[in-house]
Structure 1
Amino acid sequence: MAKEYKIFISHSWQYTDTLEALRNLINTRGYFSAVYEESTRDKPINSDDESYVKRRLSQKIGNSDVILALAGVYASHSSWMQWELDKAIELGIPIIGVIPRGQNRISTIVSSRSVVDIRWNTESIVSAIRAYAK
C-alpha cells in the first residue's frame, strides 16, 4: 500500500482559492495519497482565544509529515503563516515553499524557512513531498 502523506498547507485565508487549487493539483496525481491537516474557512478552529488556536494548530502541524507553504508575497504580511512556519521548525517538520503560478517574487518569510522552494507543477510538488517528508 502506498504511503499516505499528512500535509499541512500554510496559507493566507485571503487566498483560499490558491489553497484549493494546490489541493486539487495534488489530489489529481495518480498513485499519491494525501490528507490535509490545516484549518480552512470551511473547517476553521472556532475560537477567539489565540492560545487555544495556537495549541490546535501546533497539534495539526505536529501530526504532519511535511508543511507546504504558499510562497506568494502575501505570506510576508501574514503573522499566522510566520507563526506556523516557526512552529514547524520548532517541531522538526520540513517546510517546502510552493511558488504560486505566475509569481516571480516569493516571500522571504517562506524562503528563509523552507528546505526547498518549488514551482507550481504537480510532479515537482509530489517529488519534493516524497523527498522531504518525515
Structure 2
Amino acid sequence: MAKIYNIFISHSWTHNDDLVGLKDLLESRGYFKVEFWESTRDSPINSSNTSYVKMKLKERILSADIVLGIAGIYATNSDWIAWELETAYNNAIPIIGVIPRGQERISSVVNEYSIDNVRWNTESIVAAIRVHSK
C-alpha cells in the first residue's frame, strides 16, 4: 500500500493561485498520494478569534508529515506564514520551501525555517517530501 503524505501548505490567501497550482501539481503526480491539512478560502476556519484559529491551525500542522512553505517574497511580510512555520519548526515538523516559478529571491522567513528549498518542479518537490517527511 502506498504511503499517504499528510501535507500542510503555508501560503498567503492573497496569492491563492500559488496554493492551487502547488496542490494540483502534487495531486497529478502518479503513485504519490497526498492529503492536505491547511485552511483555504474554500474551507476557512470560521472564527474571528485569533486564539481559536491558531489552535485549529496548530492541530492541522501537528497532523502533517511535512509543511511546505510557498517561498514567494510576499511570505516575508505575512505574520500568519511566520507563525505557521515557527509552529512547525518548534514541533519538529520538517519544512520545505517551494520557490514559485520565476522567483529569483525567496522569502527570508521561509528560508529561515526550511531544511531544504526546491524549485517549482514536480519531481524536485516530491523527492524533497519523500526524503524529509516524518
Query: C-alpha root-mean-square deviation of aligned residues, in Å?
Result: 0.4
* SS of alignment partner, residue 109 of structure 1: helix
Structure 1 Cα separation of the partners of residues 113 and 20 of structure 2: 23
Q: Distance in 1 between matches of 2:36 and 2:59?
A: 13
Give the aligned partner of residue 17 of structure 1: 17
Q: Which amino acid aligns with 2:32?
A: F
In structure 1, the partner of 2:38 is 38
Alpha-carbon distance, 1:91 to partner: 1.1
Q: Where in structure 2 are the equivalents of 1:1-134 lying within 5 Å? A: 1-134=1-134
- Corresponding letter in the other structure for 1:19: L
Task: Measure the CA separation in 1 of the matches of 2:112 and 2:83.
Answer: 13
What per-residue deviation string (whole Å, max 9, x for no partner) do you get for residues 15-48 of structure 1? Answer: 1111000000001100000000000000000000
- Normalised by the size of structure 2, how large is the TM-score? 0.99
**Equivalent-residue separation in structure 2 for 1:61 and 1:28 (angstroms):** 23
Identity %: 55
Q: Distance in 1 between matches of 2:90 and 2:65?
A: 14
Instruction: Give unmatched runs, 5+ long, in structure 2.
Output: none
Provide the C-alpha distance between the structure 2 equivalents of 1:55 and 1:22, rounded to a whole number of angstroms. Answer: 25
Q: Distance in 2 between matches of 1:38 and 1:93?
A: 14
Question: Match for 2:107: what amino acid?
Answer: S
Displacement of 1:6 after TM fit? Answer: 0.2
Question: Deviation digits for residues 63-102 of structure 1, max 9, x if unmatched?
Answer: 0000000000000110000000000011110000000001
User: Residues of 2 paired with 1:26 and 1:97: CA distance?
Assistant: 15
Give the 4+ runs in structure 1 shifted more than 6 A: none
Unmatched tracts of structure 1, length 5 or more: none
